[in-house]
Structure 1
Amino acid sequence: MEPRGMKKWRPFATMPEQYIGLKEIINKQAEVAQPVLTEEQMEQMNFTLIEALHTNKQVYLTYYKKGQCITEKGLIQFVDSLGNLFVFIDEVLELKNKIRLSQLIDVRFV
């Protein structure tokens, strides 16, 4: 006698639209609202960004994107306060990421 293994569950995988819909519902439930920062917090982040840029130190960046708060480790490469954006290179894939300063939640040194 042989075990059926995964054959047993194949009939439930016949409706891929159902799985797509369920995934969208789960993702919507996991979304969080963007935190509102005080002037003091924004000023402290500004000083940390400038210091990290000039000293070339690694930082933990927490930013808001599509309903999620994402934390990454990287180096600040460029800050444009007039253009409301900054560029950082993440540690994992070494890619340049452009993020708006309004999406930034927290900056801390490693």
Structure 2
Amino acid sequence: MNKYKDRGIIKWSPFDSLAGFNDLYTELKYKLGKMDKPILSEDQLNEMDINLNKAISNNCEISVTYYQDGYRKNIFGYISKIDYLNMCIYIERNKLEINSIVDLFVYD
């Protein structure tokens, strides 16, 4: 017969004794994880252009890696619209600026 009663979150309160420590820690971790935007060569830009035209003509699913706020992010889907005036690509209701795209892969 065990009479142990768990105190829940109360037992962890000494570790959060400094007010706002967790918020500062997560913000610091976020800032330290940031990286510079990669500079793409002419060959990489040309290859992405070829892949983009292939995806549009064949209506293929694509994987796009883009740079946002110091981090690389991925998105998968089909191209729904290309806005040449504003230099944007719409992938299933998600708007991506062409200048932020780092890599583009086409699934056949």
TM-score normalised to structure 1 length? 0.82
Matches within 5 A, 1:81-96: 81-89=84-92, 96=93
The residue that corresponds to 1:21 in the other structure is: 24
Residues 86 and 98, structure 1, Cα contact 8 Å, conserved in 2: yes
After TM superposition, give the deviation of residue 79 of structure 1 in Å: 2.1
- Which of the numbers 53, 56, 69 marks the counterpart of 1:50? 53
After TM superposition, give the deviation of residue 44 of structure 1 in Å: 1.3
The residue that corresponds to 1:106 in the other structure is: 103
Of 47-56 and 58-67, the range deviating more from structure 2: 47-56
Distance 1:79 1:100 in 2: 10
1:63 counterpart SS class: strand
Equivalent residues, number: 104
What is the aligned-residue RMSD (CA, Å)? 1.8
The residue that corresponds to 1:39 in the other structure is: 42
Residues 49 and 76, structure 1, Cα contact 8 Å, conserved in 2: no
Higher radius of gyration, 1 or 2: 2
Gaps in structure 1 of 5+ consecutive residues: 90-95
Distance 1:80 1:43 in 2: 19
| 1:29-61 Cα distance to aligned partner (Å, 9 max, x none) | 111111100111111111211221221100111
- Which of the numbers 62, 68, 72 marks the counterpart of 1:69? 72
Q: Which runs of 4+ in 1 moved over 4 A?
A: none
Gaps in structure 2 of 5+ consecutive residues: none
The residue type equivalent to 1:75 in the other structure is Y
